[in-house]
Structure 1
Amino acid sequence: MVKYPFILGLAFASLFISHTAQAQLFPDRQQIDQWLVGLGGENSFDRSKTIDWGVLPGPFYTPELEFGVGIALVGLYQADSRPDSKISSLSLSGFGSSTGAFGMTFSNYTYLADDTWRFYLTGSLNNVPTNYWGEGYHEGRVKDHFGEYRSQELHLTPTLLRQIAQNTYIGLGWDYSNLQAAAPDAPFKAYMDKRDLPLRSTSSGLSLRFTYDSRDFLPNASQGQAFDISYTHYSPDTGSNNRFNATQMQYNYYYPLSDSAVLAFDNYARFTSGDVPWSQLSKLSNGHQMRGYYEGRYQDNHVFSTQLEYRQKLDWRHGIALWIGGGTLSDQARDLGQGHWLPSVGVGYRFEFKPRMNVRLDFGIGKESTGFYFQVGEAF
């Protein structure tokens, strides 16, 4: 996982600001709002702009990446000319560090023709030091990784969906990943050589996708539900090194407890079959599921995870989140759920930079593992 818990010092400080003379040591919320306006962080959506941008820069430090600078960029826009059309969103997060590491992730959700068509585009580009444990539960449960390399990866996933019934869509997509395991250390190189695995892996496949989605706002839903299933076939015919298949399923439900509180539920599963490359095994943990574990520590052909999250909007731009969840993995699909389960609990801080577009800082706790996450938008 990419861990860069930068910024929000001012936002955190504002949690403790009182209207006393001593509090003048800190800027008040009105001053912070004025500064954020200069960065495009008005707590409103300006429909007159082609894209209503906001940006949050700041320094960070992690043991893996050392010192660096990061940035979060959020844009809201309307792809239709109708004034009441659904608001589309674009978010980008990026960083560069003193170790030479850099990375960025982005996600775009565009609603067209009165939400008859939807275009999604997610992706990442990174060059970061990466730890490696191997494949399966027993390899991941070892506290210390055995290998290291520098992950240089480009990953793109565009999807075009067409509405066929109320809240129901089908469509086609493409999943492309090119990963180079650069600068491998001796143990990782020996592991790859012994299994005759290449250090560079390209996976490219066409996807068929079905979605039922009644959520009110995809990056930060307060009500509704969503069921999404996609099947991707990777083949040399589409530019892939290996021929294999991946099926991914996710179900989310959002129950509003009040105007400021939501209970969110998530089920996620991924299944692979065929000649699956080492870089395309199903990962149990990431910045969305099973927060608290190093991404890729637990990986196998098949994974399943579930989580329940309580989200509370506080005063001003503040919010908090609490979650509990669990997950499991297996080599054979028939064994999924019958082996070891891993826990995930955590707490998160939310800062509303644009209307209903949160910057989130999460701290997840797993079994003998913890992790910080800084991202734009909710985990699910």
Structure 2
Amino acid sequence: MFGYKTIKRLVISSLLIFSVSSAQADILPNRQKIDGWLSELGGSNQLDASKKVDWGVLPGPFYTPEMGMGVGVAVVGLYRPDNSDHTSQTSSLGLSGFASSTGAFGLNFTNYNFLARDQWRLFVSGTLNNTPTYYWGKGYDAGKNNGNKEKYRAQEFDIRPRLLYRVTDATYMGLGWHFSSLNASDPDIGAAKYFAQSVGGRSVTSSGVSAYFSYDTRDFLPNAKHGQAFEIVYTYFSPELGGDNRFNTTQLQFSTYHQLSEKSVLAFDNYARFSSGDVPWNQLSLLGSSQRMRGYYEGRYRDTNILTSQLELRHKLDWRHGIVGWIGTGTLSDSPSKLGAKHWLPSIGVGYRFEFKPRMNVRLDFGVGKDSTGFYFQVGEAF
């Protein structure tokens, strides 16, 4: 299932993560000095309630063969819209981005607003990317054959605001909007052929209205220690709403969190996404992302329907350090009735956590899939 080289990489990554989190070498600056540097960047591990938004910024370099040398940055903001409201969770803004020497850039953000003693919740998530990437085609057979891999540059904008109202204890209903625009520029000959034969073509705009049902008892959304969440999201896309195609998607997610000790949390997540209608190629369900099925290149496996499960153990070490380990599996199909009948793919990995702000982690994950690996740098937990 996993090759020797892949297992070796996973073991080495585990050792490196442990070494980074436990090293006490004299040549390194002590923690008090690092805390001082981080405080200058807004990285105090105590919330400053006197500020409207308690900001923190953490930059760092990176290199990939596709994008060359670059710099990444994580930005975290914590705030309370109403300082007299001690019922609602602390609101948060998490942002991770990068820019590289090849002109590639990307920006991902999540914003959680808890209002009127948690009577209202306003959430916004979004992505802005201009990055080299690959397309394999639709379905399991297309994704497993690396000969189908074709390069293009994705110029993408995606935003999803939603407003939820509490109808009873921990139960919310609401409406949202999903707008997505993607242009596949500079495609290889094979990619251009794929897009010409796919719904939507090279340039796709999708716009839809979403209905939300949510039951949520998590104590802190970006990094829950206990509680559970069950969510159903139905989205209807149509030309009348500003998109190119008429189709719909339904997402189901159930997550639960168990605090095993003061420093350990066991988290479990189930996720399913179903789509029907004239679904564009970029709106098919993806098996592989920074949130689930880590270890697979995002977009390699895509189809009409997917189902995934993952179990993650999170452990806080001393100071700001933490580690995680997870196992997961997922499947995809062009029909809901065939989902799970075959083609189950594995996911396993380890991760390092650095608590930049109170309970707001910058995460670095290394995931391993079937003949595939992936690194992920994000703000907040995967789920």
Q: Same fold (TM over 0.5)?
A: yes
In structure 2, distance between residues paired with 1:119 and 1:326: 31
Q: 1:17 is matched with which residue: 13, 19, 24?
A: 24
Cα deviations by residue, 1:120-177 (Å, 9 ceiling, x for unpaired): 0000000000111100001111134431110000000000000000000000000000
> Does the CA-based 8 Å contact 2:94-2:109 persist in structure 1?
yes
Give the equivalent residue in structure 2 for 1:289: 292
**Which amino acid in structure 1 is aligned with residue 282 of structure 2?**
S
Q: 1:48 is matched with which residue: 32, 47, 50?
A: 50
Unpaired stretches in structure 1, ≥5 consecutive residues:
1-8
Q: Secondary structure at the match of 2:219?
A: coil
Unpaired stretches in structure 2, ≥5 consecutive residues:
1-15
* 1:73 maps onto 2:75 in alignment: yes
Give the equivalent residue in structure 1 for 2:368: 365
> Does the CA-based 8 Å contact 2:352-2:363 persist in structure 1?
yes
How has the CA–CA distance of structure 1 residues 229 and 40 changed in structure 2, closer, same or farther, with 3 Å as cutoff?
Answer: same
Per the TM alignment, residue 81 of structure 1 is displaced from its structure 2 partner at its CA by 2.9
Per the TM alignment, residue 14 of structure 1 is displaced from its structure 2 partner at its CA by 6.0
Could you tell which deviates more after superposition, 34-43 or 56-65?
56-65
Q: 2:31 is matched with which residue: 26, 29, 32?
A: 29
**Which amino acid in structure 1 is aligned with residue 145 of structure 2?**
V
> Does the CA-based 8 Å contact 1:133-1:146 persist in structure 2?
yes
Per the TM alignment, residue 339 of structure 1 is displaced from its structure 2 partner at its CA by 1.7
**Which amino acid in structure 1 is aligned with residue 160 of structure 2?**
T
Give the equivalent residue in structure 2 for 1:342: 345
Give the equivalent residue in structure 1 for 2:94: 91
Q: How does 1:20-169 map to 2 (within 5 A)?
A: 23=26, 25-82=27-84, 84=86, 85-169=88-172
Identity, % of aligned pairs?
A: 59
**Which amino acid in structure 1 is aligned with residue 255 of structure 2?**
N
How has the CA–CA distance of structure 1 residues 197 and 165 changed in structure 2, closer, same or farther, with 3 Å as cutoff?
Answer: closer
In structure 2, distance between residues paired with 1:162 and 1:196: 36
**Which amino acid in structure 1 is aligned with residue 320 of structure 2?**
R
Give the total of aligned pairs: 367
Q: Secondary structure at the match of 1:216?
A: coil
The normalised TM-score by structure 1 is 0.94
Q: 1:186 is matched with which residue: 189, 206, 214?
A: 189
**Which amino acid in structure 1 is aligned with residue 83 of structure 2?**
S
Output the aligned Cα RMSD: 1.5
> Does the CA-based 8 Å contact 2:167-2:173 persist in structure 1?
yes
> Does the CA-based 8 Å contact 1:103-1:124 persist in structure 2?
yes
> Does the CA-based 8 Å contact 1:143-1:368 persist in structure 2?
no
How has the CA–CA distance of structure 1 residues 258 and 194 changed in structure 2, closer, same or farther, with 3 Å as cutoff?
Answer: closer
How has the CA–CA distance of structure 1 residues 267 and 13 changed in structure 2, closer, same or farther, with 3 Å as cutoff?
Answer: closer
In structure 1, distance between residues paired with 2:67 and 2:123: 30
The normalised TM-score by structure 2 is 0.93
Give the equivalent residue in structure 1 for 2:264: 261
Give the equivalent residue in structure 2 for 1:319: 322
In structure 2, distance between residues paired with 1:122 and 1:261: 28
Give the equivalent residue in structure 2 for 1:175: 178
**Which amino acid in structure 1 is aligned with residue 123 of structure 2?**
Y
Per the TM alignment, residue 58 of structure 1 is displaced from its structure 2 partner at its CA by 1.3
> Does the CA-based 8 Å contact 2:199-2:280 persist in structure 1?
no
Cα deviations by residue, 1:216-254 (Å, 9 ceiling, x for unpaired): 000000000000110000011100100000001110000
How has the CA–CA distance of structure 1 residues 202 and 360 changed in structure 2, closer, same or farther, with 3 Å as cutoff?
Answer: same
Q: Secondary structure at the match of 1:40?
A: coil
Could you tell which deviates more after superposition, 39-48 or 138-147?
138-147
> Does the CA-based 8 Å contact 2:272-2:308 persist in structure 1?
yes
> Does the CA-based 8 Å contact 2:17-2:323 persist in structure 1?
no
In structure 1, distance between residues paired with 2:17 and 2:366: 19
How has the CA–CA distance of structure 1 residues 362 and 200 changed in structure 2, closer, same or farther, with 3 Å as cutoff?
Answer: same
> Does the CA-based 8 Å contact 1:282-1:302 persist in structure 2?
yes
> Does the CA-based 8 Å contact 2:232-2:253 persist in structure 1?
yes
> Does the CA-based 8 Å contact 2:92-2:113 persist in structure 1?
yes
Cα deviations by residue, 1:31-64 (Å, 9 ceiling, x for unpaired): 1111000000001101110000000011111122
How has the CA–CA distance of structure 1 residues 166 and 196 changed in structure 2, closer, same or farther, with 3 Å as cutoff?
Answer: closer
**Which amino acid in structure 2 is aligned with residue 148 of structure 1?**
K
Per the TM alignment, residue 70 of structure 1 is displaced from its structure 2 partner at its CA by 1.0
> Does the CA-based 8 Å contact 1:13-1:26 persist in structure 2?
no
In structure 1, distance between residues paired with 2:271 and 2:109: 21
Q: Secondary structure at the match of 1:293?
A: coil
In structure 2, distance between residues paired with 1:371 and 1:144: 19
How has the CA–CA distance of structure 1 residues 248 and 195 changed in structure 2, closer, same or farther, with 3 Å as cutoff?
Answer: closer
Per the TM alignment, residue 66 of structure 1 is displaced from its structure 2 partner at its CA by 1.2
**Which amino acid in structure 1 is aligned with residue 79 of structure 2?**
Y
Per the TM alignment, residue 104 of structure 1 is displaced from its structure 2 partner at its CA by 0.2
> Does the CA-based 8 Å contact 2:219-2:227 persist in structure 1?
yes
In structure 2, distance between residues paired with 1:243 and 1:62: 37
Q: Secondary structure at the match of 2:190?
A: helix
Q: How does 1:206-217 map to 2 (within 5 A)?
A: 206-217=209-220
Q: Secondary structure at the match of 2:29?
A: coil
